[in-house]
Amino acid sequence: MGEILVLVDHAGGRIRKPALELLTLARRLGTPAAVVLGAGESAAAIAATAGEYGAAKVYVADASEFADYLVVPKVDALAQIAQAASPAAVLVTSTGEGKEVAARLALRMGSGLITDAVDVAPGDAGPVAAQSVFAASYTVTSTVTRGIPVITVKPNATGSEAAPAAGQVEQVTVAFSEAAAGTRVVSRTPRASSGRPELTDAEIVVSGGRGVAGPGGFSVVEELADALDAAVGASRAAVDAGWYPHTNQVGQTGKQVSPQLYIANGISGAIQHRAGMQTSKTIVAVNKDPEAPIFDLVDYGLVGDLFEVLPQLTAEVKARKA
Amino acid sequence: MTLRIVVCVKYVPVATGDRRFADDKTTDRESVDGLLSELDEYAVEQALRIAEASGDAAVTALTVAPDDAQDALRKALSMGVDQAVHVNDDDIHGTDAIGTSLILAKAIEQTGFDLVVCGMASTDGTMGVLPALLAERLGVPQATLLSEIAIEGDTVTGRRDGDAATEQLRAVLPAVVSVTDRSGEPRYPTFKGIMAAKKKKMRSLDLDDLGLDAAEVGLSGAWTKVEAVATRPPRTVGTIVKDEGEGGRQLATFLAEQKFV
Ligand SMILES: Cc1cc2nc3c(=O)[nH]c(=O)nc-3n(C[C@H](O)[C@H](O)[C@H](O)COP(=O)(O)OP(=O)(O)OC[C@H]3O[C@@H](n4cnc5c(N)ncnc54)[C@H](O)[C@@H]3O)c2cc1C
Ligand SMILES: Cc1cc2nc3c(=O)[nH]c(=O)nc-3n(C[C@H](O)[C@H](O)[C@H](O)COP(=O)(O)OP(=O)(O)OC[C@H]3O[C@@H](n4cnc5c(N)ncnc54)[C@H](O)[C@@H]3O)c2cc1C
């Protein structure tokens, strides 16, 4: 079986959970080989973790270009590594940047591209990717018919399991293209941590919408989230109103989440919101309007005022956990 | 010199309609109502704001789509775009992202450009890759997923809200940009705009006009293949309870039964 190149997503010197999922998934398709770009001093630790999760080889490249310029330096590095390694497939995490890197890489290599896979399985003619499309109303399976398949995979598409492998580090010196310096990253402000689980990684997500009525209102949502050890999500209406940061938006133009449990509070359930949460395992909604479309999706729906229901629920959860 | 702006707009099936696939596993674009992708209205808006700020600019709306897309282009024209280009050819049916980028890049080159403005993603394919592919093909910088954008002289700057960080970007024109739904609310066409749009030029191009061969695009030229499409089983209807004062505690019991507590 061939090598499966996995571009390792990392931030703040740490490997991100979706990278562990990709390595786990890559083991089904072949021998995982991790690619760690621009990790500086953290590269060794990240490479070691990649090894623990099944990377037989870890290609490490470091250069200021990775931080100073947008997207293209990573494409240059991956193209160079892929050229030498002739992998059976390349896997990248489906983030805004990940998809752009994957797309340019595919075009350069003369390869077909599949984005936003929710599953990838081995097939007779290469990997078979499943996508959940049209706001999760269809499942589409597809293959790449030309070149080395380049596939981006959504966070939480699969679990992550350790499976120690050699993790042999190979240092790579990248010859950057002229295009690499095209778009300068003048400054970068890392997102402040809320101390809560990452939205896309979380087992439980508690969300608030327009029904939360004001920034102060989100405290009832946050208190429930903390009692459940959950991430906090928000509808676009709540984000547009300035009640909660955009990084927490769930939906078509926010994050797409697929937790074990999603609790929607004061959210009507518009198609664009559903596009971001419809694949959640268990869905609960609290809404005072019995006709709200969100109730079509739920495993458990509570018709009521969230300002009455949530504090009671939070207290009860805390009592049961104590 | 006139700033030449090309804004790429996609004609998509209405999201609240019954979106589905045709027998050949391509998106059904005939029996489902379509419209100008709402996310591309943001691209049109930013293109117009940049044009207005520059004082000397020409904005061309470009789409690759079947006949019905005329309405989408008309909408862009009535918002204030100067002219439209419609690439339309039966052989384009079923083209994948890589192929679409080839067609768009050819049409952009033929139109002439200093700045290409795209939406953040389409509302049907939702890949969010075309802007990056266009930059790669056109050999110009990409400044994408911008929630704020400004042009000063020959430089584009903007704010990109990434997954882990917020970045300030800078690139020199010509360039490809894409803008998010946080970049500024799109304007509504005015009555005057709608009337003016009727007189604006809409050019139709086919693959021949672009010097492209049918084998490079379409379903047969695609580098990806849809093997199967299946409707997701509808979610089974759950329990709906009305809060009579004990709702929170009842919900806690449900969560405990499901082992979440
Ligand atoms: C191109 C495009 C992209 C979009 N992307 C997204 C996206 O990524 N994410 C997203 O969420 N939306 C998105 N939207 C917007 C979407 O269409 C809806 O407008 C939005 O989801 C509505 O948010 P909401 O449910 O919070 O608000 P509303 O629809 O106003 O619903 C509020 C709900 O709260 C209930 N309520 C009010 N008070 C209480 C109370 N005290 N207790 C209990 N219930 C109460 C009401 O009954 C109502 O059902 C997008 C739209 C477009 C066109
Ligand atoms: C559900 C679904 C899944 C798909 N998955 C894949 C896949 O995995 N791989 C693949 O190769 N193809 C795929 N396709 C086909 C792909 O969507 C089309 O080829 C499409 O033209 C490009 O992708 P997009 O719509 O996602 O555009 P995006 O990359 O999301 O579009 C970004 C921006 O590019 C511009 N743009 C996009 N399309 C056009 C157009 N036709 N005319 C003018 N401007 C445009 C707009 O400004 C738009 O906002 C899929 C299609 C669907 C409907």
Is A269 annotated as belonging to a binding site? yes
The CATH number of residue B58's host domain is 3.40.50.620
Residue B23 has pLDDT above 80, yes or no: yes
- Domain contains B42: yes
For chain B, what is the mean pLDDT? 95
Structural domain includes residue B109? yes
| Per-residue pLDDT reduced to its tens digit, B180-190 | 999 999 999 99
Please give the average per-residue pLDDT across B136-140, as a whole number: 98
User: Between chains, do B237 and A313 touch, taking CB under 8 Å as contact?
Assistant: no
For CA atoms B149, A187, B169, A82, the dihedral sign is negative
What pLDDT was estimated at residue A216? 85
Task: Write the residue in B169, B225, B254 that is nearest to A145 by C-beta.
Answer: B225
Per-residue pLDDT tens over the stretch A188-197? 999 888 899 9
**What is the arithmetic mean of pLDDT over B37-59?**
97
The identity of residue A166, as a single letter, is: A
Whole-prediction pTM: 0.97
Q: According to the model, what pLDDT value does residue A1 have?
A: 64
pLDDT band at B161 (very low <50, low <70, confident <90, very high): very high
Q: What pLDDT does residue B162 have?
A: 87
Please check whether residue B132 touches A, CB under 8 A.
yes
Is the pLDDT confidence value at A53 over 80? yes
* Assigned domain for B62 exists: yes
**To the nearest whole angstrom, how far is the Cα of A25 from the nearest Cα of chain B?**
20
Residue A287 among known ligand-binding residues: yes
Is residue A222 predicted with pLDDT exceeding 70?
yes
pLDDT for residue B163: 80
Domains and CATH numbers, chain A: 3-181 (3.40.50.620), 204-321 (3.40.50.1220)
Tally Cβ neighbours within 10 Å of residue B8.
28
Cis omega (within 30 of 0) for bond into B189: no
Contact of A226 with A196, CB cutoff 8 Å:
yes
pLDDT digits (tens, 9 = 90+) for A249-261: 999 999 999 999 9
Q: Which two tokens stand for residue A184?
A: 């300068």
Which of B10, B24, B216, B226 most suits a substitution to test ligand 2, by most atoms within 8 Å of the C-beta? B10
Q: Mean pLDDT lowest for which of A192-196, A246-250, A315-319, B94-98? A: A192-196
Residues A13-24: tens digit of each pLDDT: 999 999 999 999
* Rg, Å, chain B Cα set: 22
Residue B159 to residue B205: CA distance in whole angstroms: 35
pLDDT mean across residues, chain A: 96
Q: Rounded distance, CA B217 to CA A72, Å?
A: 25
Q: How far apart are CA B159 and CA B102, in angstroms?
A: 28
Q: How far is B94 from A129, CA to CA, in rounded Å?
A: 18
**Cβ atoms A42, A67 nearer than 8 A:** no
Residue A109's Cβ-side half-sphere holds a number of Cα atoms within 13 Å equal to 32
- From the number of C-beta atoms within 10 Å of its C-beta (0-12, 13-18, 19+), residue A11 rates as middle
Confidence of residue B17 (pLDDT cuts 50, 70, 90): confident
pLDDT tens-digit map of B186-215 = 999 999 999 999 999 999 999 999 999 999
Structure confidence by residue, pLDDT tens digits, A23-46: 999 999 999 999 999 999 999 999
Q: Which residue has the higher pLDDT, A244 or B233?
A: A244
| CB atoms B243 and A308 under 8 Å | yes
Domain boundaries, position B118: 3-221
Q: Is A235 annotated as a binding residue?
A: yes
Place of tokens 């597809």: A142
Name the closest-CA residue to atom 6, ligand 2: A114
Q: What's the gap in Å between B37 CA and the centre of ligand 2?
A: 11
Query: Is B37 a domain residue?
Result: yes
Please identify which residue in the block is written with the tokens 């956990």.
A321
B46: in domain: yes
Does ligand 2 lie within 6 Å of residue B13's CB atom?
no
Number of Cβ within a 10 Å radius of residue A162: 13
DSSP chain B: --EEEEEE--EEE-TTS---B-TTSSB--SSS-EEE-HHHHHHHHHHHHHHHHHSSEEEEEEEE--GGGHHHHHHHHHHT-SEEEEE--GGGTT--HHHHHHHHHHHHHHH--SEEEEESS-SSS----HHHHHHHHHT--EEEEEEEEEEETTEEEEEEE-SSEEEEEEEESSEEEEE-TTS-PPPPPPHHHHHHHTTS-EEEE-TGGGT--GGGSHHHH-SEEEEEEEEPPPPPP-EEEE-SS-HHHHHHHHHHHTT--
Q: Is residue B229 part of a domain?
A: no
Q: What is the pLDDT of residue B233?
A: 85
What is the pLDDT at residue B30?
80
pLDDT at A173 over 80: yes
Number of domains in chain B: 1
Name the phi and psi angles at B167, rounded to 5: -120, 140
Q: Is residue B113 part of a domain?
A: yes
Please determine, for residue B241, whether its predicted confidence score (pLDDT) is greater than 80: yes
* Domain-located, residue B239: no
